[in-house]
């Protein structure tokens, strides 16, 4: 509980990246997580197919089932903008294995050196992600959303604020 936030989780302001933190109370339909950030220009090494490293300006937002790194916690939704490729890859990590990537989306909404705001809405059957005030993608649940309790963010991104809203 946090005074002035009706028992909701306090906003997380200017977190260090990589960020990993609890989603208090987990997820329920109607719950929204709003992330305000800035894409840091430049490239970093990222593991690609067969673990081969390549240069990309990337970041990811993971909705995870715990924070374990060994074995790796399941990831209900990995949301991974890749700025050089101009694609946002979405996937799920289950039993330490990636599933099928979902890549189709409309116009790429992120740009190096620009701010963005994304909202992740939990619905009974899917997550909906809006970027900069416009619906962007849907991601059908492969792992029950009830198992998600952790938010992890890494990559070439600065985060100004993370807000949690029960939707009630
Ligand atoms: O590349 O693709 C998403 O399908 C993999 C990447 C992996 C994910 C995955 O190596 O990268 O983006 O958490 C990870 O392992 C990140 C850094 C086929």
ipTM summary value = 0.97
Is 49 touching ligand 1 by the criterion CB < 6 Å?
yes
For residue 167, the model assigns a pLDDT of: 82
Rounded distance from Cα 101 to ligand 1 centre (Å): 10
Q: What is the pLDDT of residue 142?
A: 98
pLDDT at 50 over 70: yes
Q: Which atom of ligand 1 is nearest to the CA of 49?
A: 18
The length of the chain is 168
How far the first Cα of the chain sits from its last, in Å, is 15
Judge whether residue 7 has pLDDT over 90: no
C-alpha distances in Å from residue 114, one per residue of 67, 85, 107, 111, 147: 29, 17, 16, 5, 33
pLDDT of residue 1: 54
pLDDT tens column, 54-106: 999 999 999 999 999 999 999 999 999 999 999 999 999 999 999 999 999 99
Sign of torsion over alpha carbons 90, 92, 96, 98: negative
96 CB neighbour count, 10 Å cutoff: 10
Is the distance from CB of 161 to CB of 40 less than 8 angstroms? Answer: no
């Amino acid at each position: 509980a946090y005074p002035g936030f009706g028992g909701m989780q306090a906003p997380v302001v200017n977190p260090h990246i990589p960020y990993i933190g609890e989603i208090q109370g987990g997820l329920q339909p109607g719950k929204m997580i709003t992330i305000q950030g800035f894409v840091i220009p430049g490239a970093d090494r990222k593991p690609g197919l067969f673990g081969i490293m390549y240069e990309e300006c990337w970041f990811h937002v993971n909705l995870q089932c715990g924070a374990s790194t060994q074995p790796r916690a399941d990831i209900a939704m990995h949301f991974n903008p890749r700025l050089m490729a101009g694609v946002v890859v979405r996937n799920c990590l289950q039993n330490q294995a990636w599933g099928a990537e979902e890549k189709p989306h409309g116009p790429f909404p992120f740009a190096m050196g620009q701010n963005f705001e994304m909202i992740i809405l939990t619905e009974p059957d899917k997550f909906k992600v809006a970027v900069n005030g416009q619906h962007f993608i849907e991601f059908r649940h492969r792992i029950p959303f009830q198992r998600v309790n952790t938010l992890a963010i890494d990559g070439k991104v600065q985060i100004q604020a993370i807000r949690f809203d029960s939707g009630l």
